[in-house]
Amino acid sequence: MQNSWHPKPADRIFRPRRIKRFHLRRVLGVAAVFSAGYGNVGSSIYYALGIVALVALGATPLALGIAGVLFIFTALTYAEGTAALPEAGGSASFARHGFNDLAGFTAGWALMLSYIVTIAISAFTIPPYLGFFWEPFKDSPTIGTIASMGIVTFLMIINVIGIKETSFINVSAAVLDIATQVSLVVIGFILLFNPVVLVHRIFDNWPTAENLILGIALASIAYTGIETMSQMAEETKQPEKKVPRALIMMIVTVLVIFAGISLVSLSAMPPQELASEWSRDPVAGIAASLPLELLRTILKPLIAILAGTILLIATNAGLIGVSRLAFSLGSHHLFPPALSKVHPKFKTPYISIILFSIIALLILIPGFFAANVFANMGALYAVGSLLAFMFAHASIISLRIRKPELQRPFKLRLNIKIKGHELPITAILGFVILMIIWIIILISQPYSRWVGLAWMASGLIVYYIYRRKAKMPLTHTPKDQENKFNK
């Protein structure tokens, strides 16, 4: 029997409203993704070169080269993972799919540490370079730290307004940085490069085996930052194609520029001078060593502007990365959902942007009075990044075993077959070597060891309390709760 009821003119019909889940806008192309990642990776040469020279001495180019090979392994792992899983989260997303929710949170919490420190250390490094124009920026800890805090606050506001606006800043600054660095390398090879002098400075200052290993460990800091590109997958047009393309572009660009600058630096000055007088601004040291007065006059202010610009990109890239990571973790019940809330007008995760900007500002406070705050932030930065990279490699290997049917628009080659599974050699080597480097840093750097481990422990406690309060298992999200959230 058919239902004969029809609404009458006076009847009110109730139609339940569907709960909408906001999504980030897909507005970015290859240039925007590349520039954001390069801003994070490329900026590290402005301080990593001096830090590595401090322990590796004449073997500094070798340490950077070995770390560069690991960078290739890691970038390729991210290319496969992001193409197969084009969502915000990076290594946290890979670990959640490759293992479980607990692994996803652990990777994400480690990555969050590196992003927050990236924001702080990049902003903290800008004023000393700009001290070329106004000495108090470099000489006064108070003025320098206040300026750093102002930079973080400014970028916080810009990021709340929207990702499209910040991508314009990234692209413009990256183009200027690459052009200037390439010019410096070319000029340096023409005017400074001397094979005989270079060979003597390398072998006459060869470090001990222990210092060489530590130098390689510290050199890995120079290549951290590729997570930012993976984090932007949900805001990239055709991410399965464009993110791997941007990663490969960055591999080539970074390796060429870093190799050139490291060789030119040892041609310009002995490693002891590089590790002392120019440890915080090694690129400025190269410009100051040029034999022509005209070039020095031009390049000194240009390097100051260049360093400030690219470090501004790095600060911005860290803020983009940590906010999008919080969005991803909250969306998948790995973090309080409030942190993934998107602004109704700007469509950005504004709560996480504001929260983690405030934490970065708190990290900058010791800059008013602590002399070693810069070195401590650098070591702490590496602890979080390397742990996240280890999770990324392990997750790609696990996905090959657990989900061989997963579509992989970009798939790593050079595989070995174990029990019928194709496992990428680069991911295996990357995981093992990075684990060794991570352990070396923990052993040799007490500040990063205790602060890093305390950060991880506190995060796991927060995760445990949140999941228990939400009545969810620690390792997975029940289907009914996942479906309820995604309606």
3-state secondary structure 119-183: HHHHHHHHHHHHCCCCCHHHHCHHHHHHHHHHHHHHHHHHHHHCHHHHHHHHHHHHHHHHHHHHH
Say if 4 falls within a structural domain: no
What pLDDT is recorded for position 390? 94
Q: How many CB atoms lie within 10 A of CB 428?
A: 18
What pLDDT is recorded for position 52? 84
36 closest CA partner among 319, 281, 339, 346: 319
Q: What is the CA radius of gyration of the chain?
A: 24
Say if 17 falls within a structural domain: no
Q: Which residues pair with 423 in a beta bridge?
A: 416
Instruction: Please give the Cα distance from 304 to 297 (Å, whole number).
Output: 12
Better-scored residue on pLDDT, 240 or 404: 404
DSSP string for residues in 348-413: S-HHHHHHHHHHHHHHHGGGGT-TTHHHHHHHHHHHHHHHHHHHHHHHHHHHHHH-TTS--SS---
Say if 486 falls within a structural domain: no
**Where in the sequence is the domain holding 445, given as residue range(s)?**
30-477
Mean pLDDT of 247-255: 79
Chain centre distance of CA 392: 13
Mean pLDDT of 110-115: 88
What pLDDT is recorded for position 20? 42
Say if 484 falls within a structural domain: no
In this structure, are residues 56 and 215 in contact, taking their beta carbons and an 8 Å threshold?
yes
Sign of CA dihedral 111, 425, 212, 40: negative
Say if 24 falls within a structural domain: no
Instruction: Please give the Cα distance from 77 to 430 (Å, whole number).
Output: 9
Tokens at 9, concatenated: 């003119």
Angle, in degrees to the nearest 10, between helices 239-268 and 45-56: 50
**pLDDT, mean over the chain:** 80
What pLDDT is recorded for position 315? 84
Instruction: Compute φ and ψ for 421, nearest 5 degrees.
Output: -105, 135
In this structure, are residues 31 and 171 in contact, taking their beta carbons and an 8 Å threshold?
yes
Tokens at 76, concatenated: 């390729």
Instruction: Please give the Cα distance from 216 to 211 (Å, whole number).
Output: 9
Q: Which residues pair with 418 in a beta bridge?
A: 421
Alpha helices in 192-226 (DSSP H): 195-203, 209-219
Q: How many CB atoms lie within 10 A of CB 27?
A: 14
Band of pLDDT at residue 169, cut at 50, 70 and 90: low
Residue whose tokens read 């890093």: 452
Domain holding 161: CATH number? 1.20.1740.10
Instruction: Please give the Cα distance from 124 to 133 (Å, whole number).
Output: 17
Domains held by the chain: number: 1
Say if 2 falls within a structural domain: no
Q: Read off the pLDDT of residues 378-417 as tens digits, 9 standing for 90 and up.
A: 778 888 888 999 999 999 999 999 988 888 887 888 888 8
Q: Read off the pLDDT of residues 422-449 as tens digits, 9 standing for 90 and up.
A: 899 999 999 999 998 889 888 888 888 9
Q: How many CB atoms lie within 10 A of CB 328?
A: 26
Residue whose tokens read 């058919």: 2
User: Which residues lie closer than 8 Å to 318 by C-beta, 6 or more apart?
Assistant: 40, 115, 116, 118, 119, 122, 228, 360
Instruction: Please give the Cα distance from 473 to 155 (Å, whole number).
Output: 37
The answer on pLDDT for 113 being more than 50 is yes
Instruction: Please give the Cα distance from 159 to 424 (Å, whole number).
Output: 37
Say if 411 falls within a structural domain: yes
Say if 15 falls within a structural domain: no
What pLDDT is recorded for position 9? 53
